[in-house]
Structure 1
Amino acid sequence: MLKKTLSALAIAALALSAHAADVLKVAATSVPHAEILNFVKPQLKAEGIDLQVKEFSDYVQPNMAVADKQLDANFFQHQPYLDSFNKDRKTDLVTVPNGKVHVEPFGAYSSKIKDIKDLKDGATIAIPNDPSNGGRALILLAKQGLIALKDPASLTPTPLDVVKNPHKLKFQELEAAMLPRALNDVDLALINTNYAIEAKLNPTKDALFIEGADSPYTNIVVARRDNAQSADIAKLMQALHSPEVKQFILDKYKGAVVPAF
Protein backbone atom coordinates (compact mmCIF):
# COMPACT_ATOMS: atom_id res chain seq x y z
CA MET A 1 0.00 0.00 0.00
CA LEU A 2 2.88 2.34 0.90
CA LYS A 3 4.58 1.61 -2.43
CA LYS A 4 1.39 2.42 -4.32
CA THR A 5 1.06 5.73 -2.43
CA LEU A 6 4.68 6.65 -3.15
CA SER A 7 4.18 5.70 -6.79
CA ALA A 8 1.09 7.91 -7.04
CA LEU A 9 2.97 10.79 -5.44
CA ALA A 10 5.86 10.35 -7.87
CA ILE A 11 3.49 10.41 -10.84
CA ALA A 12 1.79 13.52 -9.48
CA ALA A 13 5.17 15.21 -9.00
CA LEU A 14 6.20 14.37 -12.56
CA ALA A 15 2.91 15.74 -13.89
CA LEU A 16 3.38 18.95 -11.91
CA SER A 17 6.94 19.28 -13.21
CA ALA A 18 5.78 18.79 -16.81
CA HIS A 19 3.11 21.41 -16.33
CA ALA A 20 5.63 23.90 -14.90
CA ALA A 21 7.93 23.34 -17.89
CA ASP A 22 5.14 24.58 -20.17
CA VAL A 23 4.83 27.94 -18.41
CA LEU A 24 6.41 30.63 -20.59
CA LYS A 25 6.97 33.99 -18.89
CA VAL A 26 7.49 36.90 -21.27
CA ALA A 27 8.13 40.54 -20.38
CA ALA A 28 6.60 43.26 -22.55
CA THR A 29 5.65 46.91 -22.62
CA SER A 30 1.89 47.26 -22.63
CA VAL A 31 1.26 48.67 -26.13
CA PRO A 32 1.48 47.03 -28.58
CA HIS A 33 3.67 44.21 -27.31
CA ALA A 34 1.55 42.89 -24.44
CA GLU A 35 -1.59 43.27 -26.56
CA ILE A 36 -0.07 41.16 -29.32
CA LEU A 37 1.14 38.52 -26.84
CA ASN A 38 -2.26 38.33 -25.17
CA PHE A 39 -3.81 37.84 -28.61
CA VAL A 40 -1.80 34.62 -29.16
CA LYS A 41 -2.42 33.26 -25.65
CA PRO A 42 -5.37 31.03 -26.68
CA GLN A 43 -3.39 29.49 -29.54
CA LEU A 44 -0.48 28.68 -27.26
CA LYS A 45 -2.80 27.33 -24.58
CA ALA A 46 -4.17 24.88 -27.16
CA GLU A 47 -0.58 23.73 -27.69
CA GLY A 48 -0.03 23.19 -23.97
CA ILE A 49 1.83 26.42 -23.21
CA ASP A 50 0.70 28.76 -20.46
CA LEU A 51 1.91 32.15 -21.73
CA GLN A 52 2.25 34.58 -18.84
CA VAL A 53 2.73 38.19 -19.91
CA LYS A 54 4.51 40.49 -17.44
CA GLU A 55 4.07 44.18 -18.29
CA PHE A 56 6.77 46.79 -17.72
CA SER A 57 6.79 50.55 -18.27
CA ASP A 58 10.52 50.97 -18.94
CA TYR A 59 13.20 49.52 -21.19
CA VAL A 60 15.71 48.32 -18.57
CA GLN A 61 13.87 45.96 -16.21
CA PRO A 62 12.49 43.65 -18.95
CA ASN A 63 16.05 42.83 -20.01
CA MET A 64 17.39 42.47 -16.48
CA ALA A 65 14.51 40.14 -15.54
CA VAL A 66 15.41 37.83 -18.43
CA ALA A 67 19.15 38.02 -17.77
CA ASP A 68 18.52 37.17 -14.09
CA LYS A 69 16.33 34.20 -15.11
CA GLN A 70 13.22 35.63 -13.47
CA LEU A 71 11.52 35.53 -16.88
CA ASP A 72 12.07 33.49 -20.03
CA ALA A 73 11.98 36.12 -22.78
CA ASN A 74 10.91 39.64 -23.59
CA PHE A 75 9.28 41.53 -26.42
CA PHE A 76 9.69 45.31 -26.49
CA GLN A 77 12.96 46.32 -28.16
CA HIS A 78 14.86 46.48 -31.44
CA GLN A 79 18.33 45.13 -32.27
CA PRO A 80 20.28 48.41 -31.89
CA TYR A 81 18.86 48.84 -28.39
CA LEU A 82 19.68 45.23 -27.46
CA ASP A 83 23.25 45.60 -28.75
CA SER A 84 23.73 48.80 -26.76
CA PHE A 85 22.19 47.24 -23.63
CA ASN A 86 24.40 44.14 -23.80
CA LYS A 87 27.48 46.33 -24.17
CA ASP A 88 26.59 48.69 -21.32
CA ARG A 89 25.25 46.09 -18.87
CA LYS A 90 27.62 43.22 -19.74
CA THR A 91 24.66 40.94 -20.47
CA ASP A 92 24.46 38.24 -23.15
CA LEU A 93 20.87 38.40 -24.37
CA VAL A 94 20.11 37.34 -27.94
CA THR A 95 17.39 37.63 -30.53
CA VAL A 96 15.55 34.31 -30.77
CA PRO A 97 15.52 32.52 -34.15
CA ASN A 98 13.11 34.24 -36.57
CA GLY A 99 12.57 36.78 -33.80
CA LYS A 100 11.42 39.79 -35.86
CA VAL A 101 7.78 40.74 -35.35
CA HIS A 102 6.94 44.33 -36.24
CA VAL A 103 8.16 47.87 -36.84
CA GLU A 104 6.84 50.86 -34.89
CA PRO A 105 7.65 53.87 -37.07
CA PHE A 106 9.26 56.48 -34.81
CA GLY A 107 7.62 59.91 -34.91
CA ALA A 108 8.00 63.59 -33.97
CA TYR A 109 5.21 65.27 -32.02
CA SER A 110 4.43 68.77 -30.81
CA SER A 111 1.71 70.52 -28.82
CA LYS A 112 2.93 73.92 -30.01
CA ILE A 113 3.18 73.67 -33.79
CA LYS A 114 1.16 71.89 -36.47
CA ASP A 115 3.81 71.90 -39.21
CA ILE A 116 7.55 71.34 -38.94
CA LYS A 117 8.05 74.48 -41.08
CA ASP A 118 6.85 76.48 -38.06
CA LEU A 119 9.65 75.22 -35.80
CA LYS A 120 11.50 78.27 -34.51
CA ASP A 121 15.25 78.76 -34.29
CA GLY A 122 16.53 77.81 -30.86
CA ALA A 123 13.68 75.34 -30.31
CA THR A 124 14.05 72.66 -27.64
CA ILE A 125 13.86 69.10 -28.95
CA ALA A 126 13.28 66.20 -26.54
CA ILE A 127 14.83 62.86 -27.50
CA PRO A 128 15.23 59.52 -25.68
CA ASN A 129 18.25 59.31 -23.40
CA ASP A 130 19.33 55.79 -24.35
CA PRO A 131 21.97 55.53 -27.11
CA SER A 132 19.98 53.57 -29.68
CA ASN A 133 16.68 55.47 -29.49
CA GLY A 134 18.41 58.82 -29.02
CA GLY A 135 20.43 58.06 -32.12
CA ARG A 136 17.28 57.00 -33.94
CA ALA A 137 15.72 60.39 -33.12
CA LEU A 138 18.74 62.30 -34.41
CA ILE A 139 18.77 60.24 -37.62
CA LEU A 140 15.12 61.11 -38.21
CA LEU A 141 15.85 64.81 -37.62
CA ALA A 142 18.75 64.59 -40.08
CA LYS A 143 16.50 63.02 -42.71
CA GLN A 144 14.23 66.05 -42.35
CA GLY A 145 17.20 68.30 -43.06
CA LEU A 146 17.04 69.93 -39.62
CA ILE A 147 20.57 68.82 -38.65
CA ALA A 148 23.55 67.01 -40.16
CA LEU A 149 25.46 64.19 -38.45
CA LYS A 150 29.18 63.42 -38.49
CA ASP A 151 28.64 59.81 -39.61
CA PRO A 152 25.32 59.37 -41.47
CA ALA A 153 25.79 55.57 -41.42
CA SER A 154 25.97 55.32 -37.61
CA LEU A 155 22.87 54.01 -35.81
CA THR A 156 23.89 55.49 -32.46
CA PRO A 157 24.83 59.15 -32.93
CA THR A 158 24.58 61.52 -29.97
CA PRO A 159 24.02 65.28 -29.83
CA LEU A 160 27.84 65.59 -29.83
CA ASP A 161 27.81 64.12 -33.36
CA VAL A 162 25.68 66.97 -34.75
CA VAL A 163 28.00 68.85 -37.12
CA LYS A 164 25.44 71.19 -38.66
CA ASN A 165 22.65 72.78 -36.66
CA PRO A 166 21.46 75.79 -38.69
CA HIS A 167 18.39 76.33 -36.50
CA LYS A 168 20.42 76.20 -33.27
CA LEU A 169 18.18 73.45 -31.90
CA LYS A 170 18.66 72.51 -28.26
CA PHE A 171 18.46 68.83 -27.29
CA GLN A 172 16.95 67.60 -24.06
CA GLU A 173 17.54 63.91 -23.35
CA LEU A 174 14.81 62.21 -21.31
CA GLU A 175 13.81 58.67 -20.39
CA ALA A 176 11.74 57.34 -23.30
CA ALA A 177 8.65 56.75 -21.17
CA MET A 178 8.66 60.40 -20.03
CA LEU A 179 8.63 61.96 -23.50
CA PRO A 180 4.83 62.21 -23.98
CA ARG A 181 4.57 64.05 -20.65
CA ALA A 182 7.19 66.55 -21.80
CA LEU A 183 5.23 67.70 -24.85
CA ASN A 184 3.99 70.86 -23.18
CA ASP A 185 7.48 71.77 -21.99
CA VAL A 186 9.38 71.42 -25.26
CA ASP A 187 8.83 72.45 -28.86
CA LEU A 188 9.19 68.99 -30.35
CA ALA A 189 9.51 65.46 -28.93
CA LEU A 190 10.69 62.34 -30.72
CA ILE A 191 8.64 59.54 -29.19
CA ASN A 192 8.71 55.74 -29.50
CA THR A 193 5.40 54.57 -30.94
CA ASN A 194 4.51 52.31 -27.99
CA TYR A 195 4.65 55.31 -25.65
CA ALA A 196 2.89 57.54 -28.19
CA ILE A 197 -0.03 55.10 -28.43
CA GLU A 198 -0.24 54.81 -24.63
CA ALA A 199 -0.50 58.63 -24.49
CA LYS A 200 -3.44 58.51 -26.95
CA LEU A 201 -1.35 59.95 -29.79
CA ASN A 202 -2.08 58.58 -33.24
CA PRO A 203 1.26 58.23 -35.03
CA THR A 204 -0.25 58.29 -38.51
CA LYS A 205 -2.27 61.45 -37.78
CA ASP A 206 -0.54 63.33 -34.96
CA ALA A 207 3.13 62.96 -35.90
CA LEU A 208 4.60 65.93 -37.76
CA PHE A 209 6.92 63.46 -39.48
CA ILE A 210 7.53 59.75 -39.04
CA GLU A 211 9.82 56.94 -40.17
CA GLY A 212 8.93 54.88 -43.20
CA ALA A 213 8.12 51.17 -43.09
CA ASP A 214 11.72 50.48 -44.18
CA SER A 215 12.98 51.36 -40.69
CA PRO A 216 15.83 49.09 -39.50
CA TYR A 217 14.40 49.18 -35.98
CA THR A 218 12.31 46.00 -36.12
CA ASN A 219 10.94 44.89 -32.75
CA ILE A 220 12.22 41.47 -31.72
CA VAL A 221 11.70 38.69 -29.20
CA VAL A 222 14.76 38.32 -26.96
CA ALA A 223 15.92 35.55 -24.62
CA ARG A 224 19.05 34.23 -22.96
CA ARG A 225 21.53 32.33 -25.06
CA ASP A 226 20.78 29.15 -23.06
CA ASN A 227 17.03 29.12 -23.82
CA ALA A 228 16.64 31.09 -27.07
CA GLN A 229 16.14 27.90 -29.08
CA SER A 230 13.73 26.17 -26.71
CA ALA A 231 10.67 24.42 -28.10
CA ASP A 232 8.29 26.73 -26.24
CA ILE A 233 9.90 29.89 -27.64
CA ALA A 234 9.81 28.36 -31.12
CA LYS A 235 6.06 27.80 -30.71
CA LEU A 236 5.68 31.40 -29.51
CA MET A 237 7.35 32.67 -32.68
CA GLN A 238 5.16 30.44 -34.85
CA ALA A 239 2.11 31.98 -33.20
CA LEU A 240 3.45 35.54 -33.53
CA HIS A 241 4.14 34.98 -37.25
CA SER A 242 0.66 33.68 -38.03
CA PRO A 243 -1.65 35.31 -40.60
CA GLU A 244 -4.07 36.01 -37.75
CA VAL A 245 -1.47 38.13 -35.92
CA LYS A 246 -0.61 40.02 -39.09
CA GLN A 247 -4.27 40.87 -39.57
CA PHE A 248 -4.65 41.79 -35.90
CA ILE A 249 -1.76 44.27 -36.19
CA LEU A 250 -3.11 45.78 -39.41
CA ASP A 251 -6.67 46.13 -38.07
CA LYS A 252 -5.85 47.37 -34.57
CA TYR A 253 -2.98 49.79 -35.18
CA LYS A 254 -3.84 51.04 -38.68
CA GLY A 255 -0.29 51.77 -39.79
CA ALA A 256 1.11 52.85 -36.41
CA VAL A 257 2.55 49.33 -36.13
CA VAL A 258 3.68 47.47 -39.27
CA PRO A 259 4.17 43.66 -39.47
CA ALA A 260 7.76 42.64 -40.28
CA PHE A 261 7.03 39.04 -41.33
Structure 2
Amino acid sequence: MDFPNGDIFVGEIIGTAILVLFGVGVCAAVNLHHSKARAAGWVVISFGWGFGVLAGAYTAGPLSGGHINPAVSVAIATTDDGSWAKLPLYIVSQMIGAVIGAVLAWLVYYSQFRANGDEDKAQGTLGNFATIPEVRNPAANVATEAIATAALILPLLAFGMTEGLGEHGTQTLIVSLLVVGIGLSLGGPTGYAINPARDLGPRIAHHLLPIPNKGTSDWGYSWVPVAGPILGALIGAGIFQLAF
Protein backbone atom coordinates (compact mmCIF):
# COMPACT_ATOMS: atom_id res chain seq x y z
CA MET A 1 0.00 0.00 0.00
CA ASP A 2 1.38 3.42 -1.00
CA PHE A 3 1.12 5.89 1.87
CA PRO A 4 1.46 9.69 1.36
CA ASN A 5 4.72 11.18 2.64
CA GLY A 6 2.95 13.42 5.14
CA ASP A 7 1.03 10.51 6.58
CA ILE A 8 4.21 8.43 6.87
CA PHE A 9 5.97 11.24 8.72
CA VAL A 10 3.15 11.80 11.20
CA GLY A 11 2.23 8.14 11.61
CA GLU A 12 5.74 6.86 12.24
CA ILE A 13 6.54 9.65 14.70
CA ILE A 14 3.39 8.98 16.70
CA GLY A 15 3.61 5.20 16.51
CA THR A 16 7.29 5.00 17.44
CA ALA A 17 6.81 7.53 20.24
CA ILE A 18 4.08 5.33 21.73
CA LEU A 19 6.25 2.23 21.38
CA VAL A 20 9.17 3.85 23.19
CA LEU A 21 6.95 5.52 25.80
CA PHE A 22 5.65 2.08 26.79
CA GLY A 23 9.07 0.43 26.51
CA VAL A 24 11.20 2.94 28.37
CA GLY A 25 8.30 3.36 30.78
CA VAL A 26 8.21 -0.32 31.73
CA CYS A 27 12.00 -0.41 32.15
CA ALA A 28 11.84 2.62 34.45
CA ALA A 29 8.89 1.10 36.32
CA VAL A 30 10.83 -2.08 37.04
CA ASN A 31 14.28 -0.60 37.68
CA LEU A 32 13.87 2.72 39.49
CA HIS A 33 13.42 3.41 43.19
CA HIS A 34 9.98 4.35 44.50
CA SER A 35 8.12 2.71 41.64
CA LYS A 36 5.20 0.45 42.45
CA ALA A 37 6.50 -2.02 39.84
CA ARG A 38 10.02 -2.09 41.32
CA ALA A 39 11.82 -5.43 40.68
CA ALA A 40 8.85 -6.90 38.79
CA GLY A 41 11.31 -8.61 36.46
CA TRP A 42 12.09 -9.49 32.88
CA VAL A 43 8.70 -11.00 32.06
CA VAL A 44 7.02 -7.69 32.83
CA ILE A 45 9.57 -5.82 30.70
CA SER A 46 9.01 -8.18 27.76
CA PHE A 47 5.26 -7.74 27.92
CA GLY A 48 5.62 -3.97 28.31
CA TRP A 49 7.61 -3.74 25.09
CA GLY A 50 5.17 -6.09 23.34
CA PHE A 51 2.21 -3.95 24.35
CA GLY A 52 4.17 -0.92 23.15
CA VAL A 53 4.44 -2.52 19.71
CA LEU A 54 0.72 -3.30 19.83
CA ALA A 55 -0.31 0.27 20.69
CA GLY A 56 2.22 1.97 18.41
CA ALA A 57 1.62 -0.18 15.35
CA TYR A 58 -2.17 -0.05 15.64
CA THR A 59 -2.04 3.75 15.97
CA ALA A 60 0.37 4.31 13.10
CA GLY A 61 -1.10 1.65 10.84
CA PRO A 62 -3.80 3.71 9.07
CA LEU A 63 -1.30 6.50 8.35
CA SER A 64 1.97 4.75 7.52
CA GLY A 65 1.52 1.01 7.75
CA GLY A 66 2.89 0.99 11.30
CA HIS A 67 6.50 -0.05 10.68
CA ILE A 68 7.79 1.78 13.82
CA ASN A 69 11.15 0.03 13.32
CA PRO A 70 13.89 0.75 10.73
CA ALA A 71 14.61 -2.98 10.50
CA VAL A 72 11.01 -3.60 9.43
CA SER A 73 11.22 -0.76 6.91
CA VAL A 74 14.46 -2.16 5.47
CA ALA A 75 12.94 -5.64 5.18
CA ILE A 76 9.84 -4.33 3.45
CA ALA A 77 11.96 -2.26 1.07
CA THR A 78 14.03 -5.35 0.29
CA THR A 79 10.94 -7.36 -0.65
CA ASP A 80 9.11 -4.49 -2.37
CA ASP A 81 11.15 -2.50 -4.90
CA GLY A 82 8.81 0.47 -4.65
CA SER A 83 9.58 1.05 -0.97
CA TRP A 84 13.25 2.08 -1.25
CA ALA A 85 12.42 5.68 -2.17
CA LYS A 86 10.51 6.22 1.09
CA LEU A 87 12.93 4.33 3.34
CA PRO A 88 14.81 7.50 4.50
CA LEU A 89 11.51 9.14 5.44
CA TYR A 90 10.46 6.12 7.48
CA ILE A 91 13.78 5.97 9.34
CA VAL A 92 13.97 9.70 10.09
CA SER A 93 10.38 9.71 11.34
CA GLN A 94 11.02 6.68 13.54
CA MET A 95 14.11 8.27 15.06
CA ILE A 96 12.23 11.47 15.88
CA GLY A 97 9.41 9.47 17.43
CA ALA A 98 11.83 7.38 19.49
CA VAL A 99 13.45 10.46 21.02
CA ILE A 100 10.04 11.96 21.81
CA GLY A 101 8.83 8.73 23.41
CA ALA A 102 11.92 8.51 25.61
CA VAL A 103 11.50 12.11 26.77
CA LEU A 104 7.85 11.48 27.62
CA ALA A 105 8.77 8.38 29.65
CA TRP A 106 11.39 10.43 31.53
CA LEU A 107 8.74 13.02 32.35
CA VAL A 108 6.39 10.33 33.67
CA TYR A 109 9.14 8.97 35.95
CA TYR A 110 10.79 12.31 36.67
CA SER A 111 10.50 11.96 40.46
CA GLN A 112 11.78 8.40 40.36
CA PHE A 113 14.81 9.37 38.28
CA ARG A 114 15.60 12.08 40.82
CA ALA A 115 15.21 9.67 43.73
CA ASN A 116 17.37 7.13 41.94
CA GLY A 117 20.11 9.71 41.53
CA ASP A 118 19.92 10.82 45.16
CA GLU A 119 19.87 7.36 46.71
CA ASP A 120 22.24 5.35 44.55
CA LYS A 121 25.02 7.39 43.02
CA ALA A 122 26.74 4.28 41.69
CA GLN A 123 23.77 3.17 39.59
CA GLY A 124 23.58 4.50 36.05
CA THR A 125 20.27 4.98 34.28
CA LEU A 126 21.10 3.99 30.68
CA GLY A 127 19.47 0.56 31.04
CA ASN A 128 16.09 2.24 31.31
CA PHE A 129 16.58 3.84 27.89
CA ALA A 130 18.85 1.68 25.76
CA THR A 131 20.22 -1.86 25.68
CA ILE A 132 23.29 -3.01 27.62
CA PRO A 133 24.77 -6.49 26.99
CA GLU A 134 25.20 -8.83 29.93
CA VAL A 135 28.50 -10.00 28.43
CA ARG A 136 30.24 -7.42 26.24
CA ASN A 137 31.43 -9.24 23.15
CA PRO A 138 30.69 -7.16 20.02
CA ALA A 139 30.75 -10.06 17.57
CA ALA A 140 28.49 -12.21 19.75
CA ASN A 141 26.24 -9.24 20.55
CA VAL A 142 25.80 -8.41 16.84
CA ALA A 143 25.03 -12.07 16.13
CA THR A 144 22.43 -12.14 18.91
CA GLU A 145 20.71 -9.01 17.61
CA ALA A 146 20.85 -10.25 14.01
CA ILE A 147 19.34 -13.64 14.87
CA ALA A 148 16.64 -12.11 17.09
CA THR A 149 15.73 -9.58 14.39
CA ALA A 150 15.62 -12.24 11.68
CA ALA A 151 13.29 -14.15 14.00
CA LEU A 152 11.05 -11.08 13.95
CA ILE A 153 11.26 -10.25 10.25
CA LEU A 154 10.78 -13.68 8.70
CA PRO A 155 7.52 -14.48 10.56
CA LEU A 156 6.31 -10.89 10.10
CA LEU A 157 6.68 -11.15 6.33
CA ALA A 158 5.18 -14.64 6.28
CA PHE A 159 2.20 -13.47 8.32
CA GLY A 160 1.33 -11.17 5.43
CA MET A 161 0.82 -14.24 3.23
CA THR A 162 -1.46 -16.04 5.69
CA GLU A 163 -5.02 -15.82 4.44
CA GLY A 164 -7.26 -13.84 6.75
CA LEU A 165 -4.54 -12.91 9.24
CA GLY A 166 -4.56 -9.26 8.21
CA GLU A 167 -8.32 -8.90 8.65
CA HIS A 168 -9.50 -6.70 11.52
CA GLY A 169 -5.88 -5.93 12.53
CA THR A 170 -5.14 -9.47 13.68
CA GLN A 171 -1.67 -9.44 12.12
CA THR A 172 -0.56 -6.54 14.33
CA LEU A 173 -1.74 -8.38 17.43
CA ILE A 174 0.23 -11.49 16.44
CA VAL A 175 3.37 -9.45 15.74
CA SER A 176 3.17 -7.87 19.20
CA LEU A 177 2.99 -11.33 20.76
CA LEU A 178 5.97 -12.33 18.60
CA VAL A 179 7.95 -9.44 20.11
CA VAL A 180 7.05 -10.66 23.61
CA GLY A 181 8.23 -14.14 22.67
CA ILE A 182 11.53 -12.83 21.31
CA GLY A 183 12.08 -10.89 24.51
CA LEU A 184 11.42 -13.92 26.70
CA SER A 185 13.47 -16.35 24.61
CA LEU A 186 16.23 -14.31 22.97
CA GLY A 187 16.43 -11.09 25.00
CA GLY A 188 18.71 -12.28 27.78
CA PRO A 189 22.15 -11.65 26.21
CA THR A 190 21.68 -8.07 24.93
CA GLY A 191 18.27 -6.84 26.05
CA TYR A 192 16.96 -7.36 22.48
CA ALA A 193 16.92 -4.05 20.65
CA ILE A 194 15.70 -5.66 17.37
CA ASN A 195 14.94 -2.06 16.40
CA PRO A 196 17.67 0.54 15.76
CA ALA A 197 15.36 3.48 16.54
CA ARG A 198 14.21 1.87 19.80
CA ASP A 199 17.81 1.89 21.02
CA LEU A 200 19.47 4.88 19.37
CA GLY A 201 16.62 7.37 19.93
CA PRO A 202 16.38 6.75 23.69
CA ARG A 203 20.19 6.68 23.93
CA ILE A 204 20.28 10.17 22.42
CA ALA A 205 17.58 11.28 24.86
CA HIS A 206 19.54 9.81 27.77
CA HIS A 207 22.63 11.73 26.65
CA LEU A 208 20.74 15.04 26.46
CA LEU A 209 18.35 14.85 29.42
CA PRO A 210 19.28 16.36 32.83
CA ILE A 211 19.08 13.07 34.75
CA PRO A 212 20.88 13.09 38.13
CA ASN A 213 23.91 10.79 38.23
CA LYS A 214 22.82 9.25 34.98
CA GLY A 215 26.17 7.66 34.14
CA THR A 216 27.52 7.02 30.66
CA SER A 217 25.42 6.72 27.50
CA ASP A 218 27.90 4.05 26.29
CA TRP A 219 28.40 5.33 22.75
CA GLY A 220 31.08 2.69 22.18
CA TYR A 221 28.35 0.03 22.13
CA SER A 222 25.72 2.07 20.31
CA TRP A 223 26.58 0.70 16.86
CA VAL A 224 25.74 -2.88 17.86
CA PRO A 225 21.94 -2.45 18.31
CA VAL A 226 21.90 -0.61 14.97
CA ALA A 227 24.08 -2.91 12.86
CA GLY A 228 22.74 -6.17 14.32
CA PRO A 229 19.06 -5.49 13.60
CA ILE A 230 19.75 -4.17 10.09
CA LEU A 231 21.80 -7.28 9.33
CA GLY A 232 19.02 -9.44 10.77
CA ALA A 233 16.43 -7.62 8.66
CA LEU A 234 18.38 -8.37 5.49
CA ILE A 235 18.84 -12.01 6.52
CA GLY A 236 15.16 -12.43 7.38
CA ALA A 237 14.03 -10.76 4.17
CA GLY A 238 16.50 -12.84 2.15
CA ILE A 239 15.25 -16.11 3.60
CA PHE A 240 11.68 -15.00 2.95
CA GLN A 241 12.41 -14.29 -0.70
CA LEU A 242 14.18 -17.62 -1.15
CA ALA A 243 11.57 -19.70 0.67
CA PHE A 244 8.34 -18.01 -0.32
Q: Is the TM value for this pair above 0.5? A: no
Larger Rg: 1
Structure with bigger helix share is 2
Structure with bigger strand share is 1
Which TM-score bucket, shorter chain as reference? under 0.3
